[in-house]
Amino acid sequence: MQIQRIEAIPFAIPYAKTLRFASGEVDTARHVLVRVHTDDGLVGTAEAPPRPFTYGETQASIIAVISGLFAPALSGTSIFAREQVRAALHRTVGNPTAKAAVDMAIWDLVGQATGRSVTELLGGWTDEMRVCHMLGFDSPEVMVEQARRMRERYGITTFKVKVGRHPIALDVDVCRALRTELGDDIELYVDGNRGWTPSESAEAMRQMADLGLTLAEELCPADDVLGRRWLVRQSAIPFVADESVPTQADVTRELLGGSATAISIKTARTGFSDSQRILGQCEGLGVETVMGNQIDGQIGTACTVAFGAAFAATARRAGELSNFLDMSDDLLAEPLQIVDGRLAVRPGPGLGLTVDETKLAHYRED
Ligand code: MUC
Ligand code: MG
**CATH code of residue 105:** 3.30.390.10
Q: Is the CB of 293 under 6 A from ligand 1?
A: yes
Query: 90 falls in which pLDDT band (50, 70, 90)?
Result: very high
Which residue has its alpha carbon closest to ligand 1 atom 3? Answer: 193
Query: 209 falls in which pLDDT band (50, 70, 90)?
Result: very high
Q: Measuring CA to CA, which residue among 247, 248, 192, 246 is closest to residue 224? A: 192
Instruction: Specify whether 181 is catalytic.
Output: no
Q: Is the CB of 47 under 6 A from ligand 1?
A: no
pLDDT tens, position by position, 264-283: 999 999 999 999 999 999 99
- Reduce the DSSP state of residue 194 to 3 states and report it: coil
Domain boundary residue, one of 71, 91, 115:
115
Regarding whether 252 and 235 lie in a shared domain, the answer is yes
Q: Is the CB of 23 under 6 A from ligand 1?
A: yes
Regarding whether 269 and 300 lie in a shared domain, the answer is yes
Regarding whether 150 and 100 lie in a shared domain, the answer is no
Ligand 2 centroid distance, CA of 264 (Å): 8
Regarding whether 109 and 235 lie in a shared domain, the answer is no
Classify residue 357: in a domain, yes or no. no
Regarding whether 174 and 97 lie in a shared domain, the answer is no
Regarding whether 167 and 22 lie in a shared domain, the answer is no
Q: Which helix (H) or strand (E) holds 300?
A: helix 298-308
Regarding whether 96 and 230 lie in a shared domain, the answer is no
Taking the CA atoms of 137, 138, 144 and 148 in sequence, report the sign of the dihedral they define: negative
Backbone angles phi, psi at 357, to 5 degrees: -65, -30
Regarding whether 45 and 132 lie in a shared domain, the answer is no
Q: Measuring CA to CA, which residue among 294, 365, 362 is closest to residue 330? A: 362
Regarding whether 68 and 186 lie in a shared domain, the answer is no
Regarding whether 213 and 314 lie in a shared domain, the answer is yes
Return the CATH number at 202: 3.20.20.120
Q: Measuring CA to CA, which residue among 86, 77, 108, 104 is closest to residue 3? A: 77
Regarding whether 145 and 110 lie in a shared domain, the answer is no
Classify residue 349: in a domain, yes or no. no
Instruction: Specify whether 359 is catalytic.
Output: no
Residue range(s) defining the domain that contains residue 36: 3-115
Query: CA-CA distance, 351 to 235, in Å (whole number)?
Result: 38
Q: Does the pTM exceed 0.95?
A: yes
Query: What total of structural domains would you count in the chain?
Result: 2
Q: Is the CB of 133 under 6 A from ligand 1?
A: no
Q: Measuring CA to CA, which residue among 249, 265, 272, 241 is closest to residue 100? A: 272
Whose atoms come closest to the Cα of 292: which ligand? 1
CB of 334 within 8 A of CB of 322?
A: no
Regarding whether 209 and 196 lie in a shared domain, the answer is yes
Classify residue 48: in a domain, yes or no. yes
pLDDT tens, position by position, 229-255: 999 999 999 999 999 999 999 999 999
Given 160, 294, 296, 330, the catalytic residue: 294
Classify residue 37: in a domain, yes or no. yes
Given 7, 57, 191, 200, the catalytic residue: 191
Classify residue 353: in a domain, yes or no. no
Domain boundary residue, one of 99, 115, 131:
115
CB of 299 within 8 A of CB of 267?
A: no
Classify residue 218: in a domain, yes or no. yes
Ligand 2 centroid distance, CA of 319 (Å): 12
Q: Ligand 1 pocket: which of 162, 243, 304 to mutate (most atoms <8 Å of CB)?
A: 243
Given 108, 162, 254, 330, the catalytic residue: 162
Residues with Cβ within 8 Å of residue 160, at least 6 apart in sequence: 132, 133, 134, 135, 189, 190, 191, 217, 320
Query: 103 falls in which pLDDT band (50, 70, 90)?
Result: very high
Domain boundary residue, one of 115, 148, 169:
115
Measured CA distances, 159 to 84, 119, 130, 318, 355 (Å): 39, 25, 11, 9, 29
Classify residue 358: in a domain, yes or no. no
Query: Average per-residue pLDDT in the chain?
Result: 98
